[in-house]
Amino acid sequence: MAMVKAEELRSKTPDELKTQLTGLKKEAFNLRFQGATGQLENPARMRLVRREIARIKTILTEKAAGAK
């Protein structure tokens, strides 16, 4: 899965972003678990997921600040 661009994320609603964030957090948990048990196939995916989570959190914060 390729990294989503910030422009695409900004066009989504906060509810959609929160749903996507929940899915990414679950994936990050599973990747950490796989890494701990030595079953991780793509270690670079952990980095991509962490950055994606940070990107979504940043955009959610921007939307919240813009709504005030």
Tell me the per-residue pLDDT of 42-63, one tens digit each, with 9 for 90 and over.
999 999 999 999 999 999 999 9
Is CATH 1.10.287.310 what the domain over 15-67 is classified as, yes or no? yes
How confident is the model over 14-32, as a mean pLDDT? 96
- 49: three-class secondary structure by DSSP: helix
Q: How confident is the model at residue 18 (pLDDT cuts 50, 70, 90)?
A: very high
Residues 6+ apart with CB under 8 A from 48: 1, 3
pTM (2 decimals)? 0.88
The pLDDT mean for the chain works out to 92
Q: Is the sign of the CA dihedral 37, 30, 7, 10 positive or negative?
A: negative
Residue 4 has pLDDT above 70, yes or no: yes
